[in-house]
């Protein structure tokens, strides 16, 4: 009670004059000035950004994409002007730059010429390029404008991005639908491809087997042509030999003709002779026989005459023998060979019905000629005793000659053998008869033979020509066959390769079939997996994709404006300043009481209470103005009032204690404490952003607690920290008053310095 009285008296001092009353009023109003002006000034800067002159430069030209005109720059500018977040002034680039430089604009936003084009770039061809907005901020003019512009343009950028993204994603989802349809078509196509390749596979395998057979055929052809080549070689050689032989045969035949002519002459003579001989012999034979019967005995008497007769016979027989050997054996041999070769040629030609018909006719003629020749020769040999008859004739003639010789020899003794001779003469007679016939036939035959020989010669000439033609034809045939053989070999190789290729083709087609089947399946799967959105779904999805991440911004304990956010900081700050000013006016301790005998605590409280009255007044005025003047909303006004009163009390106790302890220099210490609390109470930025020093001192200074508590009381939330702050403040009061009591004890004794302060504050 006494303390109250004392405190009242302390204030009473100031009520006596207008000036001191004004001083008190000033003390009461000072926190209001401090916090109220500040909060009033910055109550809602964000809400008044439309007053900030900023430049807007629209250089954007509309772009066309997918047949749609994109005029994003103009739309963005309109949007900005509609929102009126900042005070937009549409100017040109020059004016904007000048304005930012001379400070008439805080910042400038440039929508560049290619803004729309770039926004539209994902839809068109070419490289998609992000659209850019140019911002120029002069943070030197206002640092906070940098932050504001960041926030504003983050929103602008987001809005622009959202619109662009929405269109883009809409296109993407449309494309998805098209892609889905196209993939389904592709799957069908792949299916058809699969069927086609399967058929192609079958075709290729039959092609392959056909080519295999073809390969066998071409191989055989090549081999056959090889042997045909050798055969024609042989044939050609044979034809050459034939030609040569025919030449020889012609020569032989010519000689034969000549021989035959001579032979005919000879044979004529022989026939004539033979006829004469026969006639003579035959005419003599019966006589001979009779004679012989008579002669035999006579012979023995007439042997000499007989001898001369025998000698004559021998002479005639010798002539025959000489003439009979004149027909040459070579002719027959040549003719024979010619005939055989002609026969062979004809046989071969029969075996090769495709042979040249001219060749055939030549060969036929050749065969006929040779046959004729042969037949003629045979005729000749059989006609003139032929070879054998002639030979026999010759031999007989010789034998006759020999017998006649021996007869001649033995004629003297013929009588003895006349019997035998008579038989022999009989035989001779017959023989001579036959000989005469034969030689007549020979003569006739030789005539034929000579004619035949002529024909043979001309035939052989023709045959030689034919054979020469044959030979030439055969060599040409040989050349053709060689070429044919080479071609056939090449064809064979080619067909071989073709066959291999066809094999590979078959395997490849097999793989292609499998692959196309897989392709078809996969494309089908793919088509099923590609989304195909309807219009509504598309809109939803585009909407989501244009802003895939959204903040579910659940603001707990919302702070409506800057002022409300900073009131928890500035109000206690103002109260501290208020306490400071209070004890500039008030004395922390009443010196009369100090000099007196009043108890220390009473003196301390007496010094504190008037401050408390002022503090309460400060709190009241400040709260009233903030509440009703600035219109701040608080969750717990009573709590705010309570904590502010407690704060004022605690701050006053501290300020009083410091002033009481240190005297006038205490004001400097109080100011220092203010600075420390200002920097460590986390009023603007969270304390975690401050250096360690401030984080360390923060919990030891009351203002940090007050700021935290006020945030809760104004914005709502868990009130634990409020009670903690109350505890801290109570403790602060206790500590402050204790220090003041201690100061009272110390202040009861004066020092020289206190008596005569050297420093007056």
Residue in 551, 752, 759, 760 binding another protein, rule: CB under 8 A: 752
CB of 24 to another protein, least distance (A): 12
Question: Which of positions 582-611 make contact with another protein (CB under 8 A)?
Answer: 590-598
Q: What is the DSSP string of 740-751?
A: HHHHHHHHTS--
Binders of another protein in range 690-749 (CB under 8 A): 748-749
Among 78, 103, 751, 761, binds another protein (CB under 8 A): 751
In the bound complex, what is the minimum distance in angstroms from residue 601's beta carbon to another protein? Answer: 13
Q: Which stretch binds another protein (CB under 8 A): 279-287, 397-405, 655-663, 750-758?
A: 750-758
Taking CB atoms within 8 Å and a gap of at least 24, the contacts of 409-413 are 409/307, 411/303, 411/304, 411/305, 411/306, 411/307, 411/308, 411/309, 411/310, 412/303, 412/304, 412/306, 412/307, 413/303
CB of 9 to another protein, least distance (A): 5
Which of 4, 151 has the CB closer to another protein? 4
By the rule CB under 8 A, 554 interacts with another protein = no
> What tokens does 487 get?
């071609």
The kind and range of the H/E element at 401 are helix 386-410
Closest to another protein by CB, 16 or 550: 16
For another protein, the binding residues in 5-64 under the rule CB under 8 A are 5-6, 9, 12-17, 20
CB of 614 closer than 8 Å to CB of 649: no
Question: What would you report as the CA-atom Rg of the chain, rounded to the nearest whole angstrom?
Answer: 78
Q: Name the minimum Å distance from CB 594 to another protein.
A: 8
Inter-residue contact 323 to 266 (CB < 8 Å): yes
Shortest Å distance, C-beta 617 to another protein: 19
In the chain, what are the helix, strand and coil shares in percent, each to the nearest 5?
Answer: 80, 5, 15
For another protein, which is the closer residue by CB, 550 or 756?
A: 756
Q: Quick one: which of 552, 513, 525, 569 has its CA closest to 714?
A: 569
Q: Give the Cβ contact number of residue 546 at 10 Å.
A: 18
CB of 86 to another protein, least distance (A): 56
Please tell me the count of residues contacting another protein according to CB under 8 A.
29
CB of 591 to another protein, least distance (A): 6
Site string for another protein, 237-266 (x = CB under 8 A): ------------------------------
Given a contact cutoff of 8 angstroms between Cβ atoms, the answer to whether 485 and 225 are in contact is: yes
Nearer to another protein, 474 or 613 (CB): 613
Query: What residues have CB less than 8 Å from 542, skipping those under 6 apart?
Result: 165, 166, 167, 169, 170, 173
For the bound state, the minimum distance from the C-beta of residue 747 to another protein, rounded and expressed in Å, comes to 10
- Residue 14 or 169: the one with the smaller Cβ distance to another protein is 14
Minimum CB–partner distance for residue 575 and another protein (Å) = 26
- What is the smallest separation between the CB atom of 31 and another protein, expressed in angstroms? 24
For residues 700 and 750, which CB has a smaller minimum distance to another protein in the complex? 750
Instruction: Considering the complex, state which of residue 603 and residue 725 has its C-beta at the smaller distance from another protein.
Output: 603
Q: Which two tokens stand for residue 101?
A: 């430089």
CA torsion 640-642-646-651 (nearest 10°) is 30
Helices 702-715, 637-662: crossing angle, 10 deg rounding? 170
Nearer to another protein, 9 or 451 (CB): 9
If phi > 0 it is left, if psi is from -120 to 50 it is alpha, else beta; for residue 665 that is alpha
- The alpha carbon torsion through 34, 40, 42, 45 (nearest 10 deg) reads 180
CB nearer to another protein: give 217 or 591: 591
Tell me whether residue 688 or residue 758 sits nearer to another protein (CB atom).
758
Question: What is the token pair recorded at 418?
Answer: 């006349």
Say which residues have a Cβ less than 8 Å from residue 600's Cβ, sequence separation at least 6.
741, 744, 745, 748
* Residue showing tokens 């000698």: 311
CB-nearer residue toward another protein: 587 or 712: 587
Q: Nearest distance from residue 582's CB to another protein, in Å?
A: 17
> Which of 691, 756, 759, 760 contacts another protein by CB under 8 A?
756
Binding interface with another protein (CB under 8 A)? 1-2, 5-6, 9, 12-17, 20, 590-598, 748-753, 755-756
């Amino acid at each position: 009670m006494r303390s109250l009285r004392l405190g009242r008296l302390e204030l009473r001092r100031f009520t006596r004059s207008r000036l001191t009353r004004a001083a008190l009023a000033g003390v009461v109003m000072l926190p209001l000035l401090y916090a109220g002006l500040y909060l009033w000034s910055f109550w809602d800067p964000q809400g008044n950004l439309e007053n900030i002159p900023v430049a807007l430069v629209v250089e954007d030209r509309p772009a066309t994409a997918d047949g749609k005109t994109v005029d994003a720059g103009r739309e963005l500018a309109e949007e900005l002007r509609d929102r009126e977040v900042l005070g937009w002034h549409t100017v040109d680039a020059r004016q904007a730059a000048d304005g930012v430089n001379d400070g008439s604009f805080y910042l400038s936003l440039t929508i560049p010429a290619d803004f729309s084009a770039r926004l539209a770039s994902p839809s068109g061809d070419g490289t998609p390029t992000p659209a850019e907005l140019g911002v120029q901020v002069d943070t030197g003019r206002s640092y906070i404008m940098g932050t504001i512009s960041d926030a504003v343009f983050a929103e602008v950028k987001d809005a622009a991005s959202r619109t662009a993204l929405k269109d883009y994603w809409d296109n993407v989802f449309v494309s998805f639908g098209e892609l889905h349809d196209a993939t389904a078509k592709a799957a069908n196509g792949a299916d058809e491809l699969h069927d086609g390749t399967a058929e192609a596979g079958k075709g290729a395998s039959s092609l392959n087997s056909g080519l295999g057979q073809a390969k066998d055929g071409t191989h055989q052809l090549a081999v056959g042509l090889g042997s045909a080549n050798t055969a024609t070689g042989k044939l050609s050689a044979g034809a050459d030999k034939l030609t040569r032989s025919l030449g020889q045969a012609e020569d032989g035949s010519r000689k034969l003709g000549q021989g035959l002519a001579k032979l005919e002459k000879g044979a004529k003579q022989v026939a004539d002779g033979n006829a004469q001989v026969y006639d003579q012999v035959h005419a003599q034979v019966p006589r001979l026989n009779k004679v012989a019967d008579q002669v035999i005995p006579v012979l023995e008497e007439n042997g000499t005459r007989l001898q001369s007769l025998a000698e004559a016979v021998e002479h005639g027989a010798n002539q025959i023998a000489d003439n009979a050997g004149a027909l040459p054996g070579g002719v027959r041999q040549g003719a024979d060979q010619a005939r055989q070769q002609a026969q062979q040629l004809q046989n071969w030609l029969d075996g090769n019905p495709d042979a040249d018909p001219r060749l055939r006719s030549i060969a036929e003629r050749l065969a006929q000629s040779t046959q004729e020749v042969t037949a003629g020769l045979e005729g000749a040999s059989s006609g003139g005793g032929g070879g054998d008859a002639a030979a026999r004739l010759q031999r007989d003639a010789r034998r006759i000659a020999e017998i006649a010789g021996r007869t001649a020899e033995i004629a003297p003794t013929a009588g003895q053998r006349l019997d035998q001779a008579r038989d022999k003469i009989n035989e001779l007679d017959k023989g001579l008869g036959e000989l005469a016939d034969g030689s007549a036939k020979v003569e006739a035959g030789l005539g034929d033979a000579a004619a035949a020989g002529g024909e043979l010669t001309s035939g052989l000439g023709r045959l030689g020509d034919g054979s020469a033609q044959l030979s030439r034809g055969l060599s040409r045939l040989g050349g053709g066959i060689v070429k044919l053989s080479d071609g056939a070999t090449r064809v064979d190789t080619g067909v071989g390769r073709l066959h291999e290729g066809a094999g590979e083709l078959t395997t490849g087609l097999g793989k292609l079939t499998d692959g196309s089947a897989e392709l078809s399946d996969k494309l089908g799967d793919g088509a099923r997996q590609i989304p195909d959105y309807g219009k509504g779904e598309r809109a939803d999805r585009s909407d989501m994709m244009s802003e895939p991440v959204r903040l579910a911004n659940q603001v707990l304990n919302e702070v409506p404006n800057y002022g409300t956010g900073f009131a928890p900081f500035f109000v206690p700050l103002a109260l501290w300043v208020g306490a400071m000013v209070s004890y500039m006016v008030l004395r922390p301790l009443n010196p009369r009481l100090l000099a007196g005998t009043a108890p220390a605590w009473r003196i301390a409280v007496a010094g504190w209470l008037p401050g408390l009255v002022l503090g309460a007044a400060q709190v009241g005025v400040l709260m009233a103005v903030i509440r009703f003047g600035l219109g701040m909303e608080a969750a717990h006004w009573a709590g705010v009032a309570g904590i502010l009163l407690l704060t004022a009390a605690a701050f006053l106790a501290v300020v009083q204690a410091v002033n009481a302890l240190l005297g006038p220099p205490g004001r400097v210490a109080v100011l220092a404490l203010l600075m420390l609390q200002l920097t460590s109470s986390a009023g603007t930025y969270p304390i975690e952003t401050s250096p360690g020093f401030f984080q360390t001192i923060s919990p030891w200074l009351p203002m940090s607690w007050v700021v935290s508590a006020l945030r809760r009381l104004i914005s709502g939330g868990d009130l634990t920290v409020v009670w903690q702050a109350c505890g801290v403040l109570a403790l602060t009061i206790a500590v402050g008053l204790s220090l003041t009591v201690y100061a009272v004890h110390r202040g009861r004794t004066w020092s020289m310095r206190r008596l005569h302060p050297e420093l007056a504050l």
